[in-house]
Amino acid sequence: MSEIERPVIRPRRLRRTPALRRMVAETSVEARQLILPMFVAEGLDEPRPISSMPGVVQHSRDSARAAVADAAEAGIGGVMLFGVPTDEHKDAEGSQALDPSGILNVAIADAVAEVGDALTVMSDLCLDEFTSHGHCGVLTETSAGALVIDNDRTLELYAAMGLAQAEAGVHMVGPSGMMDGQVAVIRDALDGAGHQDVAILAYGAKYASAFYGPFREAVGSSLQGDRRTYQQDPANGLEGVREALLDVEQGADIVMVKPGLPYLDVLRQVKDAVDIPVAAYNISGEYSMVEAAAANGWIDREAAILETLTAFRRAGADMILTYWAVEAASLLAR
């Protein structure tokens, strides 16, 4: 019997010890690359748990200030603020979004007062949390009696919303409504009012996803129907790249792909196509699936968190919006 031929090339040599694995790792995750989405609700005296997102809450103004301070202390890159008005303050045009005393605008001012420039304070620029119908824009009736989004009227409100957030002191706005031309209109409004230093993180490729369910609880969504006429079809990848490129042309400083895990291929394509930073949103449904599986003892929770974030970075994300941001920063520091 002939002697077994021994392999000369042994990739396992570089996996033998933790130190070796760290040294040759192709992808890293750092706290500065993480952004914490936060929900600030009107009228709360204390945080209110979100049942479908264990560990995540709707904040009161006081608890939001404390959470922003904790985020800065953890060394993460930023926070993304979402406002949750009471139902009585919602209307067909989402007018509270433009009100300087509206919940999102006061939450922005609170956050900036708390941490100054030690943390990037970002804000969602969309009407869906503020409209009585839950859509991202103004509805209009067609000749056939159907209700559809009025894209161009919505752009006027987005411009005004951007100015309200800039006046509150925000560092970066995040237009997420997927209206055609939204970045150009917001950029023009900001620049025209002397807010040329306020940056735009554009939701370039945002898909009509089944994974948004827990988020709708988080923002108290009043959605009637669906958003398939303005959010992208999950079947389309090239369309996501096209949308991102349009946002770059219109003045976006960062473009984002949302959701994250089911769209890592789109994230990679967008990263290869643009010459500005690219973000990914590790969304509510992705978060809740990991938390549910971990609660049942089916997966190692902390390992799954870090593996998920590494996947985003490996696919090309320069930054990641994730509800685990502060916890992950602690895990990474071990």
| CA atoms of 158 and 230, how far apart (whole Å) | 15
Predicted confidence at residue 121, as pLDDT, reads 98
| CA atoms of 255 and 201, how far apart (whole Å) | 6
Mean pLDDT, range 129-155, rounded to an integer = 87
In sequence order, what are the beta bridge partners of 330? none
Q: To which residue do tokens 């593996």 refer?
A: 307
Q: Which residues of 156-185 are buried (b: 16+ CB within 10 A; e: fewer)?
A: ebbbebbbbbbebbbbbbbbbbbbeebbbb
In a domain, 3, yes or no: no
Enter the pTM of the model. Answer: 0.94
Q: Could you tell me the CA-to-CA distances from 121 to 15, 68, 168, 170, 333 in Å, in that order?
A: 40, 9, 11, 6, 23
Predicted confidence at residue 213, as pLDDT, reads 85
- Give the model confidence (pLDDT) of 268-305 as tens digits: 999 999 999 999 999 999 999 999 999 999 999 999 99
Predicted confidence at residue 2, as pLDDT, reads 60
Mean pLDDT, range 302-318, rounded to an integer = 98
In a domain, 144, yes or no: yes
In a domain, 15, yes or no: no
Provide the annotated active-site residues: 206, 258
User: Dihedrals φ, ψ of 274, to 5°?
Assistant: -110, 165
| CA atoms of 32 and 34, how far apart (whole Å) | 6
In a domain, 40, yes or no: yes
Predicted confidence at residue 264, as pLDDT, reads 98
In a domain, 22, yes or no: no
In a domain, 24, yes or no: no
- For the CA atoms of 63, 69, 70, 76, the dihedral, rounded to the nearest 10 degrees, stands at 130
Predicted confidence at residue 145, as pLDDT, reads 72
- Give the model confidence (pLDDT) of 228-266 as tens digits: 888 889 999 999 999 999 999 999 999 999 999 999 999
- Residue 59 lies in domain: 29-332
Predicted confidence at residue 140, as pLDDT, reads 87
In a domain, 34, yes or no: yes
Q: State the CATH number of the domain containing residue 207.
A: 3.20.20.70
Predicted confidence at residue 94, as pLDDT, reads 94
Q: Is the pLDDT of residue 5 over 90?
A: no
Q: Is the pLDDT of residue 1 over 60?
A: no
DSSP 144: T
Predicted confidence at residue 164, as pLDDT, reads 98
Predicted confidence at residue 204, as pLDDT, reads 92
Predicted confidence at residue 125, as pLDDT, reads 97
Q: Is the pLDDT of residue 163 over 90?
A: yes
| CA atoms of 4 and 14, how far apart (whole Å) | 23
Share of the chain above pLDDT 90, in %: 86
Q: Name the least confident of 21-30, 129-138, 139-148, 304-313.
A: 139-148
Selection from 303, 318, 234 nearest residue 272 by Cα:
318
Average pLDDT, the chain: 95
Predicted confidence at residue 26, as pLDDT, reads 94
Q: How many domains does the chain have?
A: 1
In a domain, 6, yes or no: no
